[in-house]
Amino acid sequence: MMRATSKQLSAYMKRTAFFISDGTGLTAETLGQSLLAQFENITFNKLTRPYIDTVDKARGMVQQINTAAENDGARPIIFDTIVNQEIRDILAQSNGFMIDIFSTFLAPLEHEMSSRSSYSVGKSHSSAHSANYMQRIEAVNFALDNDDGARTQYYDRADLILVGVSRCGKTPTCLYMAMQYGIRAANYPLTEDDMERLQLPAALKTYRHKLFGLTIDPERLAAIRHERRANSRYASFDQCEFEVREVEMLFKRENIAFIDTTHFSVEEISAKILVEKGVERRLK
Amino acid sequence: MMRATSKQLSAYMKRTAFFISDGTGLTAETLGQSLLAQFENITFNKLTRPYIDTVDKARGMVQQINTAAENDGARPIIFDTIVNQEIRDILAQSNGFMIDIFSTFLAPLEHEMSSRSSYSVGKSHSSAHSANYMQRIEAVNFALDNDDGARTQYYDRADLILVGVSRCGKTPTCLYMAMQYGIRAANYPLTEDDMERLQLPAALKTYRHKLFGLTIDPERLAAIRHERRANSRYASFDQCEFEVREVEMLFKRENIAFIDTTHFSVEEISAKILVEKGVERRLK
């Protein structure tokens, strides 16, 4: 590893950020990522360190933090959700700048609710999620079994049915909604046949109220299809452009709500669909 | 809706919590869930409200918050990550207890980094995730294409190969690791044939260093299998118990690290595997 001189530091800003937890680290990571994204001029080297739940592991962390501080020439930023006071005391001795997520917010919440908290991180995920385990697995199985129009006879059990051209993002969106929200989402690819008939496939007509459309920029679609079947007609810009245009016309004609996925993440697409369709998540 | 009297309130505690954002709401929801989980005696009615990005939507939120306050006989708890000051001012007029995530932490971070933040939520997800879009889609495709031992010829490209009995949680774990971390994870079911030979299937031997085992409590396994094939030999406790015992012996004999998934969420299983195998996430 290279040691940055102060000359180098003036040319660019680089910081190490640690997301440290005695559990999965998801809370520290999610909050930390959101906060760091507000500092666009700084490049962060982001390191998640889950299951730091012993004094020994905490001492190892202090070494990593101090090494990063030396290499960067600046204190690393630490986002932590650790419960054990002994472990937090050890981390506090490091040469890092600590953002202590739990202690910051739990005191005002305890006051508001006139109730002591159990202050036990990790519980959040395990208790909430294990109660939801079967719901979630069922939703994932539903998405897998009803992927890509594989079968349509279980659409009565679907919360949502995503429609769109091949490779516009239907499968990852269905899987994400299953995993994150327990939503049962099927998906059905609109192929050239459906387009030429210029109408909805019969299997979908009965479930019109569950349909949601995805569309995508034709150039992006061509690039994605190219990864799968290079230099095919399927991946050509002309074909992609034709399909996208036809499908968007179908959505408008049939009054099916749809969004353009080109500039959105799977998280954003999923959240927008739930708002638009008014579908309630099944996980609590 | 019923209005709670103070008599009822003394018997049980119930509170509404809102996770409000101008983006997906994932940051507010993740942090809020973790914090609320520390109050085990209180039942929360949790409502996520993403894309609250106009003055009109904010006014609608105020009505929802005030209605909940009246029904509960207590102020709702509000976790928000909204950037726009005008929208936040409107929310602040509601009868809710606000936990303002961004303003709490951005000021100390700006000071530490001697840098102004762009204070623009939502950016976090879209910028970070869209840059990672292809990595992620590829990882999801890899998990789907290499699910359930479907094919083994691409194991050279795998970051991990999960092994275990049928229905022990391999597929959801692979999909979660793909979605959350961009990890390319295949999975291979250990079937009775492999057990009786008492050795690793040939396809796995070459990639021994990528293997990670999942195991599960036989009773839980029987319940899960029962959902798929009720009253089959496959779902019987005796069969499940036999398979789990044989596979755990195989793991020990072949020196394959493994964990018992029974009491863990998919998030926890995934985080533990990455720590154990020292695999680095591919998404930044």
Closest residue to B24, CB basis, from A77, A171, A268: A268
Q: How far apart are CA A279 and CA A183, in angstroms?
A: 8
Q: How far apart are CA B156 and CA B152, in angstroms?
A: 9
Check if the beta carbon of residue B120 is closer than 8 Å to that of residue B107. Answer: no
Q: Per-residue pLDDT for B128 more than 60?
A: no
pLDDT at B197: 66
Instruction: Tell the residue number behind the tokens 């099944």, with chain if given.
Output: A282
Closest by CA to A145, choosing from A173, A171, A118, A110, is A171
Contact residues for B149 (Cβ-Cβ < 8 A; gap 6+): B187, B188, B189, B203
In eight-state DSSP terms, residue B52 is: -
Closest residue to A34, CB basis, from B27, B144, B171: B27
pLDDT at B38: 87
Q: A118 or B256: whose pLDDT is higher?
A: B256
Q: Per-residue pLDDT for B248 more than 50?
A: yes
pLDDT at B78: 97
**What mean pLDDT is predicted for residues B128-144?**
80
Closest residue to B51, CB basis, from A15, A137, A275: A275
Show the beta-strand stretches assigned E in B61-204: 77-81, 97-100, 160-164, 185-189
Give every strand in the sheet of B14-21, ordered side by side: B43-49, B14-21, B77-81, B97-100
> Under an 8 A CB cutoff, do A117 and B275 touch?
no
Query: Which residue in chain B has the smallest CA separation from A224?
Result: B134
Closest residue to B97, CB basis, from A112, A267, A271: A112
pLDDT at A105: 92
pLDDT at A167: 94
- Identify the weakest region by mean pLDDT among A64-78, A192-206, B202-216: A192-206
Q: B44-69: per-residue pLDDT in tens? A: 999 999 999 999 999 999 999 999 99
Residue B247, annotated ligand binder? Answer: no
From the CB of residue A155, how many other CB atoms can be counted at a distance below 10 Å? 17
Cα distance from B133 to chain A (closest Cα, Å)? 7
Q: Per-residue pLDDT for A231 more than 50?
A: yes
Q: A156-199: per-residue pLDDT in tens? A: 999 999 999 999 999 999 999 999 999 999 999 998 776 666 67
Alpha-carbon dihedral B248, B252, B256, B260, rounded to 10 degrees: 40
pLDDT at A113: 87
Q: Per-residue pLDDT for B194 more than 80?
A: no
Q: Per-residue pLDDT for B32 more than 50?
A: yes
pTM: 0.87
- Identify the weakest region by mean pLDDT among A127-131, A148-152, A200-204: A127-131
- Quote the percentage of chain B above a pLDDT of 70: 89
Instruction: Tell the residue number behind the tokens 């989402």, with chain if given.
Output: A185
Check if the beta carbon of residue A283 is closer than 8 Å to that of residue A135. Answer: yes
Residue A213, annotated ligand binder? Answer: no
Mean pLDDT of chain B: 88
Q: How many residues does chain B have?
A: 284
Q: A66-106: per-residue pLDDT in tens? A: 999 999 999 999 999 998 889 999 999 999 999 999 889 98
For residue B184, give Cα distances in angstroms to A245, B138, B230: 33, 8, 33
Q: Chain B within 8 Å of A37 (Cβ-Cβ)?
A: yes
Residue B54, annotated ligand binder? Answer: no
Closest by CA to B179, choosing from B133, B220, B214, B230, is B133
Test the B interface: residue of A12, A265, A282, A284 with most B CBs within 10 Å: A265
Give every strand in the sheet of A160-164, ordered side by side: A185-189, A160-164, A211-215, A258-260
Q: A208-218: per-residue pLDDT in tens? A: 999 999 999 99
For residue A136, give Cα distances in angstroms to A14, A18, A24, A183, B267: 39, 30, 18, 8, 12
Q: A61 or B39: whose pLDDT is higher?
A: A61
Check if the beta carbon of residue B155 is closer than 8 Å to that of residue B205. Answer: no
Q: A26-56: per-residue pLDDT in tens? A: 999 999 999 998 888 889 999 999 999 999 9
Q: Chain A within 8 Å of B27 (Cβ-Cβ)?
A: yes
Q: B108 or B67: whose pLDDT is higher?
A: B67
Best-predicted range by mean pLDDT among A5-9, A123-127, B12-16?
B12-16
Q: Per-residue pLDDT for B235 more than 50?
A: yes
pLDDT at B122: 45
Q: Per-residue pLDDT for B198 more than 80?
A: no
Q: How far apart are CA A164 and CA A147, in angstroms?
A: 12
Closest residue to B129, CB basis, from A13, A137, A265: A265
- Identify the weakest region by mean pLDDT among A8-17, B81-90, B245-254: A8-17
Q: Per-residue pLDDT for A9 more than 70?
A: no
pLDDT category at A4 given cuts 50, 70, 90 is very low
> Under an 8 A CB cutoff, do A136 and B266 touch?
yes
Test the B interface: residue of A27, A34, A120, A264 with most B CBs within 10 Å: A34
Q: A105-128: per-residue pLDDT in tens? A: 988 898 898 888 876 544 544 444
Q: What is the DSSP string of chain A?
A: -PPPPHHHHHH--EEEEEEEESS-SHHHHHHHHHHHTT-TTSEEEEEEE----SHHHHHHHHHHHHHHHHHHTSPPEEEEE---HHHHHHHHTSSSEEEEHHHHHHHHHHHHHTS-----TTHHHHHHHHHTHHHHHHHHHHHHHTGGGS--TTGGG-SEEEEESTTSSHHHHHHHHHHHH---EEEEE--HHHHHHTS--HHHHTTGGGEEEEE--HHHHHHHHHHHSTT-STTSHHHHHHHHHHHHHHHHHHT--EEE-TT--HHHHHHHHHHHHTPPPS--
- Identify the weakest region by mean pLDDT among A95-109, A171-185, B73-87, B186-200: B186-200
Task: Please list the alpha-helical segments (H only) found in B93-169.
Answer: 101-113, 123-131, 133-145
pLDDT at A197: 66
pLDDT category at B182 given cuts 50, 70, 90 is very high
**β-strands A211-215, A258-260 pairing:** parallel
- Identify the weakest region by mean pLDDT among A164-168, A255-259, B59-63, B223-227: B223-227
pLDDT at B240: 96
- In degrees, to the nearest 5, what angle opens at C-alpha A91 toward C-alphas A90 and A97? 145
Amino acid, single-letter form, for residue B74 = A
Q: Which chain B positions have a beta carbon within 8 Å of A102's beta carbon? A: 34-35, 38
Check if the beta carbon of residue A200 is closer than 8 Å to that of residue A175. Answer: no
Q: How far apart are CA A223 and CA B133, in angstroms?
A: 12
> Under an 8 A CB cutoff, do B171 and A140 touch?
yes
Closest residue to B263, CB basis, from A23, A130, A224: A130
Which token pair is B193? 């044939």
Q: How far apart are CA A252 and CA A271, in angstroms?
A: 22
Cα distance from B197 to chain A (closest Cα, Å)? 30
Give every strand in the sheet of B258-260, ordered side by side: B185-189, B160-164, B211-215, B258-260
**What mean pLDDT is predicted for residues B153-166?**
96
Check if the beta carbon of residue A162 is closer than 8 Å to that of residue A214. Answer: yes
Query: Which residue in chain B has the smallest CA separation from A283?
Result: B46
pLDDT at B228: 86
Cα distance from A75 to chain B (closest Cα, Å)? 9
Cα distance from A123 to chain B (closest Cα, Å)? 7
> Under an 8 A CB cutoff, do B113 and A39 touch?
yes
The pair phi, psi for residue A188, each rounded to 5°, is -135, 120
Q: How far apart are CA A92 and CA A128, in angstroms?
A: 30
Q: Per-residue pLDDT for A236 more than 80?
A: yes
Residue B168, annotated ligand binder? Answer: yes
Residue B32, annotated ligand binder? Answer: no
**What mean pLDDT is predicted for residues A236-244?**
96
Which token pair is A188? 């059905």
Test the A interface: residue of B14, B16, B22, B24 with most A CBs within 10 Å: B24
